[in-house]
Amino acid sequence: MDHFIYQNGALCAEDVPLAQIAAEVGTPFYCYSTQTLTRHYKLFAEALDGVPHFICYAMKAASNQAILRTLARLGAGMDVVSGGEYARARAAGVPGDHIVFSGVGKTDDEITQALQGGIRQFNVESEPEMQAISRIASALGKTAPIAVRVNPDVDAKTHAKIATGKSENKFGIPISRAAEVYAMAASLPGLQVVGIDVHIGSQLTDLAPFEAAYTKVAELCESLRAQGHDIQRLDLGGGLGIPYSRSNETPPLPRDYGAMVKRTLGHLGCEIEIEPGRLIAGNAGVLVSKVIYVKSGEDRNFLILDAAMNDLIRPAMYDAHHDIVPLAEPAAGAEQDTYDVVGPVCESGDTFTKGRSLPRLDTGDLVAFRSAGAYGAVMSSEYNSRPLVPEVLVNGSDFAVIRPRPSYAEMIGRDVIPDWLMEDDAADG
C-alpha cells in the first residue's frame, strides 16, 4: 500500500496533487510520501514484536537527509556502506551507536571515521578487513564491535545483479569457514565479537530462501556459542521484495517474514537486526515526468519523456518493471495505445519499457513511474550533462523540495580548468 492515489481525477501524493508540484518544481522530479515511509517502517516493527529487535534502514535505497530524519524519528538505525553514507546518517541526527557499517571494501579512512564517530557494529566481510579493523581500533585505543558476514550459499532466486548469498558472489566468508574466522576474531586485539551477519540478496518474493539461510545461521549460532563466542545479535540483512507490478506480483508481507524469523531464530534469545531498504522506500516514491513527443515509428509508437536513464537507471540496468500511470485519471474504458516509453538520452538503452499498453497520451501530458522511491534518485547521474532532478517530500497537505535541481551554471561550475588551459585565454585578452 502507498499514499499515491487519484483524488477528484488527479493523482496525488497524500493530499497534494502531483501536477501542482510539477507546476512549481518542473519535471522530472522524485516525490516521496511521509505517510508511506512511516507505515512501512511500522509494519516491520510490528512484525518483529515479541522478540528483541533493531531496524536499521538500508540507506543505499534512498539517502536524502529528510528521508533519513523521518525514519530516525521513528527509532530507526541506519545501515551504511560508505563513509559518505555514514556522514549523511550523522548529519541527519542518527547517533553513531545506531549505525551498522556493511560493505566489502571498507577503507582505513572509513574505518577510522566510524570508530571515532561511534558505531553499533561493523559487518566484516573478510579476514583482511578484520585485520584492518583490529589494527586501526588498537591504534585508536578503541574496541570495535563486529559481526562476521557469512555466505550461506543459498540461491535467492532473484536477479543475478542483486543476488549476494551464493558461493560465487563477492560477499561474506563461506559459512563452512566460519569457525576458523570467528576464532581469528577472538584472537585479535581491539575487536569484540557481537553477532553473525547474513544477507542473501534483494527483491526476494519468496520466503523459502530466507528460511534456508536463517536455518543455517541458527545452527551456526549454536555452534559458535559452544565454542565460547558470545553471540548476542543476528543481523539478517534486508531483501524482502515489493510489488513493482500491481497486476501480477504478491511478495510476502512483513508479518509473514516476521513470523518466519521468530520460527527459525526466536529460540536463540538473540537481538534480531534487519536492514530493509527497498520495502520501506520503494513504494514511498514516484518519478514524475512529462511527455515531450509522441513519435510514430515503422511498426511502433514512441512515447518520448523528459525523464531518462540517468534519472531512473533500473530498467536499463536490471530490465526492471515500473508501472507508469498518467497524472490525470483516465476515464473508465479510456482508449489505450501501445508505446515504447523512452527518454531523450542518446543511447538505445534509454528505454523504460517496450510495447506497454497505456491510456492514450499526448505532448505535455504528465506521467508517474510508481515504486521509484528505492534505487532511483540515489543511482541517478548527470550523463549527457542533464542536471540531477529535484526530490520532494510530501507530508499531508504540505510539500518541500528536499534536493533542488541544480542550474547549468552550478553543474558546470564544479569543473576546474587547469592554469595551463587558461593561459591562451589570458593572452588573447
The average pLDDT across 258-285 equals 96
Give yes or no: 31 in active site.
no
Band of pLDDT at residue 245, cut at 50, 70 and 90: confident
Band of pLDDT at residue 156, cut at 50, 70 and 90: low
For residue 207, the model assigns a pLDDT of 92
CATH superfamily of 34-281: Alanine racemase (3.20.20.10)
Band of pLDDT at residue 203, cut at 50, 70 and 90: confident
The average pLDDT across 292-307 equals 93
For residue 424, the model assigns a pLDDT of 66
The average pLDDT across 81-104 equals 97
Band of pLDDT at residue 169, cut at 50, 70 and 90: low
Identified catalytic residue from 12, 31, 221, 346: 346
Band of pLDDT at residue 162, cut at 50, 70 and 90: very low
**Lowest-confidence range among 157-161, 329-333, 420-424?**
157-161
3-state secondary structure string, the chain?
A: CCCEEEECCEEEECCEEHHHHHHHHCCCEEEEEHHHHHHHHHHHHHHCCCCCEEEEEECCCCCCHHHHHHHHCCCCEEEECCHHHHHHHHHCCCCHHHEEECCCCCCHHHHHHHHHHCCCEEEECCHHHHHHHHHHHHHHCCCEEEEEEEECCCCCCCCHHHECCCCCCCCCEEHHHHHHHHHHHHHCCCEEEEEEECCCECCECCHHHHHHHHHHHHHHHHHHHHCCCCCCEEECCCCECCCCCCCCCCCCCHHHHHHHHHHHHHHHCCEEEECCCHHHHHHHEEEEEEEEEEEECCCCEEEEECCCCCCCCHHHHHCCCCCEEECECCCCCCCEEEEEEECCCCCCCCEEEEEEEEECCCCCCEEEECCCCCCCHHHCCCHHHCCCCCEEEEECCEEEEEECCCCHHHHHCCCCCCHHHHHHHHHHC
The average pLDDT across 138-164 equals 77
Band of pLDDT at residue 164, cut at 50, 70 and 90: very low
Q: What's the mean pLDDT when you consider all of the chain?
A: 93
333, pLDDT greater than 90: no
186, pLDDT greater than 60: yes
The average pLDDT across 397-402 equals 98
The domains of the chain are located at 4-31+283-412, 34-281
249, pLDDT greater than 80: no
Band of pLDDT at residue 153, cut at 50, 70 and 90: confident
pTM to 2 decimals?
Answer: 0.93
User: pLDDT of 100-143, one tens digit each?
Assistant: 999 999 999 999 999 999 999 999 999 999 999 999 999 999 99
For residue 172, the model assigns a pLDDT of 82
345, pLDDT greater than 50: yes
CATH superfamily of 4-31+283-412: Lyase, Ornithine Decarboxylase; Chain A, domain 1 (2.40.37.10)
For residue 163, the model assigns a pLDDT of 45
